[in-house]
Amino acid sequence: MELGARVQASYGTPFNVSMDMSASTRIDVNYLSYARGQWALNAGRPDVKNIPEPTNFDLSNINGEEYASILKLTFGIIFKRKGLKIPQAKECAVDTNNDTIIDIEGEFGTDNMIGDQIFSIKGNAHATISGLLIGDGDRMKADILVDNWSDQTQKGSVADLTNLKHKTGRDINVVKRYFASKIIGGKNIKVLWFQSVKLTAYVWLKWIVRKILRIPNGQKGPSWL
C-alpha cells in the first residue's frame, strides 16, 4: 500500500485546513515534512506523527485541498531522491526553506488544481529540481517562487532548473528576489520581472518594518504585514 493510502487508512478523512488566517500568523499543515533530520506526517496538527524515512514518494493520491504543502523540506536538511510524484496543495506541491539542500527529480503539481505556486524556495535554500512541472501557480503567476519572505533568514537561495520542463512545453514562470536569488536554467525559464520587482520591494519593506518593531528572526510578525 502506498504511503498516502496507509496514512488515510490510519487517520480517516484528512484534516480540513483553514486558509482564512493571514499568512503571517497561520500555522500551515503539511502532509509530509522533513525538518531537523526527522520525518513527520501532518506537521502543524495536534496529531503530528513522526515516522521513519519513507521508501515510496508517490503521493499522487493525496488530496491537496487539505494541506498547505504536500512535501515540506526545511531546517538544514539534505535530501536527494528520484522518482517523486508530488501533487499540488493549496500553497505548494513542494516547500523548501531554511538552509536546506535538495536534489530531486520527478513530477510536481496537478493539472486540475492551482495553488499559490508549485515550488516555494527560500531562506538560503539550494534546490536542484529535475523532471516535469504540471499545472500553474496563482500567486504572481509564478510556477516557482524564489525567496519570498522567511521569518528565519533573509539570505538568498539558489534554484537550479536546468533539467526541469513544463508538461505543456511552455516556459516555466519564475518570480525571484532581485539581488538575492540565483536562478540557473535554460531558455525555457522565464523570470517575470515585474512580479520580481514587487516581491523584492515587499521583502525589503517587511524587513524594515520588523527592524523598527524589533521583531527578531524566528518570530512571526503582525498579521497585517
User: What pTM value is reported for the model?
Assistant: 0.87
32's grid cell: 509530509
Confirm whether 159 is domain-assigned: yes
What pLDDT is attached to residue 37? 94
Distance CA(199)–CA(174), nearest Å, equals: 12
Confirm whether 219 is domain-assigned: no
Confirm whether 222 is domain-assigned: no
161's grid cell: 532548473
Distance CA(175)–CA(164), nearest Å, equals: 16
Confirm whether 130 is domain-assigned: yes
Confirm whether 133 is domain-assigned: yes
Distance CA(220)–CA(25), nearest Å, equals: 7
What pLDDT is attached to residue 26? 58
**Tens digit of pLDDT per residue, the chain (225 long)?**
445 444 433 333 333 333 333 444 456 899 999 999 999 999 999 989 999 999 999 999 999 999 999 999 999 999 999 999 999 999 999 999 999 999 999 999 999 999 999 999 999 999 999 999 999 999 999 999 999 999 999 999 999 999 999 999 999 999 999 999 999 999 999 999 999 999 999 999 999 999 999 999 888 888 777
Confirm whether 220 is domain-assigned: no
**Which residues, 6+ apart, have CB-to-CB distance to 207 below 8 Å?**
154
Confirm whether 225 is domain-assigned: no
222's grid cell: 503582525
What pLDDT is attached to residue 12? 33
Q: What is the DSSP letter of 132?
A: E
Number of domains in the chain: 1
Distance CA(141)–CA(121), nearest Å, equals: 15
Host domain of residue 202? 3-213
Side-chain-side CA neighbours of 94 within 13 Å: the count stands at 31
Distance CA(173)–CA(36), nearest Å, equals: 30
Q: Which helix (H) or strand (E) holds 10?
A: helix 3-11
Picking from 185, 162, 190, the residue whose alpha carbon sits closest to that of residue 175 is 190
